[in-house]
Amino acid sequence: MAKKDVISIRDFSKKEIEDMLKLAEKIDSMAEEKRLKLLAGKKLATLFFEPSTRTRLSFESAMQGLGGSVIGFADANTSSTQKGESLKDTVRTVEKYCDVIAMRHSLEGAARAAAESVSIPVINGGDGANQHPTQTFLDMYTILKLKKKIDGLVIGFAGDLKFGRTVHSLALALSHFNVKLYFISPDSLKMPQEFLDEIKERGTNYIETENLAETIPELDILYATRIQKERFYDLAEYERVRGFYRINKKLMESAKPELKVMHPLPRIDEIDYELDNTPYAVYFEQLANGIPVRQALLCRVLGVL
Amino acid sequence: MAKKDVISIRDFSKKEIEDMLKLAEKIDSMAEEKRLKLLAGKKLATLFFEPSTRTRLSFESAMQGLGGSVIGFADANTSSTQKGESLKDTVRTVEKYCDVIAMRHSLEGAARAAAESVSIPVINGGDGANQHPTQTFLDMYTILKLKKKIDGLVIGFAGDLKFGRTVHSLALALSHFNVKLYFISPDSLKMPQEFLDEIKERGTNYIETENLAETIPELDILYATRIQKERFYDLAEYERVRGFYRINKKLMESAKPELKVMHPLPRIDEIDYELDNTPYAVYFEQLANGIPVRQALLCRVLGVL
Amino acid sequence: MAKKDVISIRDFSKKEIEDMLKLAEKIDSMAEEKRLKLLAGKKLATLFFEPSTRTRLSFESAMQGLGGSVIGFADANTSSTQKGESLKDTVRTVEKYCDVIAMRHSLEGAARAAAESVSIPVINGGDGANQHPTQTFLDMYTILKLKKKIDGLVIGFAGDLKFGRTVHSLALALSHFNVKLYFISPDSLKMPQEFLDEIKERGTNYIETENLAETIPELDILYATRIQKERFYDLAEYERVRGFYRINKKLMESAKPELKVMHPLPRIDEIDYELDNTPYAVYFEQLANGIPVRQALLCRVLGVL
């Protein structure tokens, strides 16, 4: 039997995605005492070659909430890579100290390469602008929890659709279902053609537009993303496109009352603080869902439940 | 009921301070097996935007000694703040992953702002030159443990009284009691007037002086502090005032035999190593007291005991 | 009774080395459930003034596998040493928060100085080019596990024998036994005379040579080391000597079939990846042995088992 990794949302069928969301729901409603025994004695290594508060702490909290323990590094400067060690050797080393690896790396394909080098499960916590599948599972879980269904929804993505890996992965996952998608971005940050082709192939309808205000009334879910400064080579272009869309109370005036605004966080100024205390804002609830979802993924790859 | 935070010693009445010291004593004398169950399954996040070995490791050791677990960062460079995220969003994120936050930040007021942003308890591990309340509790606990009382003591503070947050907080806490205080410093590092006013208002007698040697014979407790290089804009001034006072065996010749010398550590050269093995030196015992005191604070804010 | 430290392999008699290897074997074959109780409630502090993935994560995994918990830092920048604190004060501080210290430092003698400053056990995880005794124990354990004996073996060391502390320590440990040693290196990276003298004194035969290919047929064990860039002052000299020896399949043609190639890792290009899947390569098995060996050392210094 092949070992289980979580590298790309592309590796999961519709059925597997649905099963994972059910498992997350099961863990979410489990008594703490029972949950704390699920991975007792197991060790997670969090290898963050690229820093991330959110994803790293979420994995660590998830693992500890299952009774397991955590080793790792938050910064490539404290790892052996600075002595010139290859990624392959680093993960083959860490493999001897733990039961499962969660990693983030700045290079696309790094998580896949790592997974192919070791015999324990690897979970991708983000590889460059490529994939971030655990984010996608928690996004799907959030939508399902809020809307009780995915089929039939109209979902808009706004912001940086070119470099935003969370958008790429979520759009792919949603295209398994009967949804309508809007891709709302400035021309320089459009959704890459390869993803559009893949979505279309699965028979999912989508519309590309630059106009957020006109699209708002159509949407059940608005998924906003940060314009990521660190992905730009040209800072002048960054300054031009940032804040292209400001999501605030005024914009919500034309929205459906049950519209939910999601964001993978961190935000800079895409979403006004004034929106935080409205029923539209679900982004902090969304990130809280990262715990049961990552717990489900950890259990699944370790063969528990 | 309002949630419990530990932000400033000013927020605690005399009664509340006394109760906390009693709780620390209770935990200090508890059997390990019992103590290890107090916070089992609970998670502490240590958010150190400004590095600190002492305070961070003390919190982590305290939490683990109560059976709880720890997530966090030791360095703002590995956190999302480098992506431009606001402190408010960072703590609202971390809130979803843990039960209580302990934080250190270089900006005054940061801990209060954080506490107001989240619904879980926040413990201030130092905000700029402002407050460091857990240090104050452990200082009070140390004095009480050594002297069996606080009323009637004569306590001198020597060194950097301008920027030394531990001095500010401890002097305020002591002013609830019937003590006499000496503030001993060069003119450029005098105790700020606002603190002196507050102490006076509570009816506490104090004397300001530059002369450590003449004051020594009066004291029951000498609380020395480091001249903190990182608080100086002008390094020449730093070089001038450092080592203004050297606390050594010779200085102790005129002291009461039962004088105790405290220091929040780290020290540079304020206290000679030769003093370490004399009965005067209690600074390492003082920092060991950080464990039961922080355990008491953790239990209190989490509603345990 | 003197407290137990692990500072230098020189501090251990032949009998003590053998006992430690037996203890490691016992722990290695112990049921997980039983092992997880050995150090429950105990705390290890990992103080890495100099970064290291391998040694730090190995200690942390070992401690967690015994049911204990871990505090510490991976980087001197997040410690109080940047405030000018002495090593002595740092370890005397950390001593109050934990039961045992494992540390790495760039300065030779740092671990010994630390051990003499505190009353809890200190384990040296590497001090400059000096000692790395836990590596030596795991190297010895690996040889014994693979060859079922140490007496009678022919063991070659190749690479940087001048700065390679793992070589120095292992050669000393082996010289307690009836072995024959080859030291294979370019002239500028020869084994220091002091170590050769010490080995000779114990009656151990050794041969120095520059020629790896000619020596290979003699060997039961080839212990290769990385040319450590960070130990060179002159980068031109580094470029000249690196890759002096490439260990690959071709070189193995003249080897005994049961030759085992060890390496403390990380490697750069001393050993070709093509060797990894041959029976010669045991370096990843070797590092996995770090867990039971470090568990044995932790138990021993804490007086358990």
Residue B15: which residues within 8 A CB-CB, separation 6 or more?
none
pLDDT of residue B165: 87
Amino acid at A18: E
Residues A217 and A255: beta-carbon distance below 8 Å: yes
Q: Is the dihedral of CA C77, C82, C86, C92 positive or negative?
A: negative
**Active-site entry in B26, B43, B54, B267:** B54
pLDDT of residue A111: 96
**Other CB atoms closer than 10 Å to residue B15's CB: what's the count?**
9
Q: Chains B, C: CB contacts under 8 A, how many? A: 72
Q: Does A221 touch chain C (CB under 8 A)?
A: no
pLDDT of residue B268: 82
Cα of B20 to nearest chain A Cα, Å? 29
Task: Enumerate domains of chain A plus CATH numbers.
Answer: 9-131+290-301 (3.40.50.1370), 133-287 (3.40.50.1370)
Which residue has 């070709």 as its token pair? Answer: C272
Preceding amide of A266 cis, omega within 30: yes
Does residue B142 or residue A268 have the better pLDDT? Answer: B142
pLDDT of residue B243: 61
pLDDT of residue C233: 78
Q: Please tell me which chains touch C, using 3 or more CB pairs under 8 Å as the contact test.
A: A, B
Q: Under an 8 A CB cutoff, do B72 and A61 touch?
A: no
Q: Under an 8 A CB cutoff, do B48 and C78 touch?
A: yes
pLDDT tens, C42-92? 999 999 999 888 999 999 999 999 999 999 998 776 555 666 789 999 999
Q: Does C229 touch chain A (CB under 8 A)?
A: yes
**Active-site entry in C104, C112, C162, C294:** C104
CA distance A124 to A106: 12
Residue B83 has pLDDT above 70, yes or no: no
Cα of B38 to nearest chain A Cα, Å? 14
pLDDT of residue A80: 58
Q: Please tell me which chains touch A, using 3 or more CB pairs under 8 Å as the contact test.
A: B, C
Which chain A residue lies closest to B92 (C-alpha atoms)? A284
Element of type H or E holding A63 = helix A53-65
Cα of C8 to nearest chain B Cα, Å? 27
| Average pLDDT value for residue range B142-161 | 96
pLDDT of residue B152: 97
pLDDT tens, C207-239? 999 999 999 999 999 999 987 777 777 888 787
Amino acid at B24: A
pLDDT of residue C302: 97
Residues C1 and C119: beta-carbon distance below 8 Å: no
> CB-CB: which of A41, A75, A96 is closest to C36?
A41
Q: Does C226 touch chain A (CB under 8 A)?
A: yes
Q: Under an 8 A CB cutoff, do A93 and C53 touch?
A: yes
Cα of A103 to nearest chain C Cα, Å? 14
Which chain C residue lies closest to B74 (C-alpha atoms)? C78
Cα of A303 to nearest chain C Cα, Å? 18
pLDDT of residue B81: 60
Residue B78 has pLDDT above 70, yes or no: no
Structure-derived torsion over alpha carbons of residues A100, A104, A110, A113, reported in degrees to the nearest 10: 0
Residues C290 and C58: beta-carbon distance below 8 Å: yes
Write out chain A residues lying below 8 Å of B93, CB-based. 53-54, 265-266, 284, 287
Name the pTM for this structure.
0.93
CA distance A94 to A79: 11
pLDDT tens, B250-292? 999 999 999 999 999 998 888 999 999 999 999 999 999 999 9
Has C83 been annotated as catalytic?
yes
Residue B89 has pLDDT above 80, yes or no: yes
Cα of A51 to nearest chain C Cα, Å? 15
Q: Does B98 touch chain A (CB under 8 A)?
A: yes
Residue B10 Cα distances to A99, B168, B253, angstroms: 47, 10, 37
Residue B79 has pLDDT above 60, yes or no: no
> CB-CB: which of C82, C84, C88 is closest to B268?
C84
Confidence of residue B82 (pLDDT cuts 50, 70, 90): low
Which residue has 């009691």 as its token pair? Answer: B177
Strands C69-73, C100-105: pairing kind: unpaired
CA distance B135 to B287: 9
CA distance A224 to A283: 10
Starting at the edge strand that comes first in sequence, how are the strands of the sheet with A69-73 ordered?
A69-73, A43-48, A100-105, A122-127
Preceding amide of B266 cis, omega within 30: yes
Q: Chains A, B: CB contacts under 8 A, how many? A: 71
Mutate which: A78, A90, A99, vs C, most C CBs within 10 A: A78
Residue C139: which residues within 8 A CB-CB, separation 6 or more?
C166, C170, C173, C223, C262, C264, C286
**Active-site entry in A4, A26, A43, A54:** A54
Which chain B residue lies closest to C97 (C-alpha atoms)? B61
pLDDT of residue C177: 97
Could you give the percent of chain B with pLDDT greater than 90?
Answer: 79
Q: How far separated are the first and last CA of chain C, in Å rounded?
A: 17
pLDDT tens, B190-219? 999 999 999 999 999 999 999 999 999 999
CA distance B279 to B261: 9
Smallest CA-to-CA distance from A152 within A179, A125, A186 is with A179
Q: Does C291 touch chain A (CB under 8 A)?
A: yes
Residue C282: which residues within 8 A CB-CB, separation 6 or more?
C142, C146, C260, C261, C262
Q: Does A73 touch chain C (CB under 8 A)?
A: yes
| Average pLDDT value for residue range B111-117 | 96
Write out chain A residues lying below 8 Å of B77, CB-based. 51, 75
pLDDT of residue C75: 78
pLDDT of residue B278: 97
Write out chain B residues lying below 8 Å of A75, CB-based. 75, 77-78
> CB-CB: which of C43, C75, C83 is closest to B61?
C43
Please tell me whether residue B94 adopts helix, strand or coil conformation: helix
Does residue B74 or residue C197 have the better pLDDT? Answer: C197
Q: Under an 8 A CB cutoff, do A93 and C52 touch?
A: no
B31: left (phi over 0), alpha (psi -120 to 50) or beta: beta
For each of chain A's 305 residues, which pLDDT tens digit applies? 568 999 999 999 999 999 999 999 999 999 999 999 999 999 999 999 988 889 999 999 999 999 999 999 987 765 556 567 899 999 999 999 999 999 999 999 999 999 999 999 999 999 987 889 999 999 999 999 999 999 999 999 999 899 888 999 999 999 999 999 999 998 888 999 999 999 999 999 999 999 999 999 999 999 999 877 776 778 887 777 776 678 999 999 999 999 999 999 998 888 999 999 999 999 999 999 999 999 999 999 999 98
**Other CB atoms closer than 10 Å to residue A147's CB: what's the count?**
16
Residue B240 has pLDDT above 90, yes or no: no
Which chain A residue lies closest to B80 (C-alpha atoms)? A53
pLDDT tens, B94-103? 999 999 999 9
Longest dimension (CA), chain A: 56
Element of type H or E holding C122 = strand C122-127
Q: Under an 8 A CB cutoff, do C61 and A85 touch?
A: no
CA distance B64 to C39: 13
Could you give the percent of chain B with pLDDT greater than 70?
Answer: 96
Residue C244 backbone phi and psi in degrees, to 5: -55, -40
Has C104 been annotated as catalytic?
yes
Smallest CA-to-CA distance from A91 within A50, A45, A132, A42 is with A45
Low-confidence spans in chain C with pLDDT less than 50: none
Smallest CA-to-CA distance from C78 within B228, B85, B55 is with B55
Could you give the percent of chain C with pLDDT greater than 70?
Answer: 96
Has A132 been annotated as catalytic?
yes
Has B55 been annotated as catalytic?
yes
Which residue has 């992953």 as its token pair? Answer: B97
pLDDT of residue A293: 98
Which chain C residue lies closest to B283 (C-alpha atoms)? C93
Smallest CA-to-CA distance from A210 within A192, A232, A183, A236 is with A183
Residues B259 and B279: beta-carbon distance below 8 Å: no
pLDDT of residue A249: 95
Which chain B residue lies closest to A33 (C-alpha atoms)? B41
Has B132 been annotated as catalytic?
yes
pLDDT of residue B144: 98
Q: Under an 8 A CB cutoff, do A57 and B72 touch?
A: yes
The tokens for A68 are 């397991």
Q: Is the dihedral of CA B174, B179, B185, B188 positive or negative?
A: positive
Amino acid at A267: R
Cα of C285 to nearest chain A Cα, Å? 8
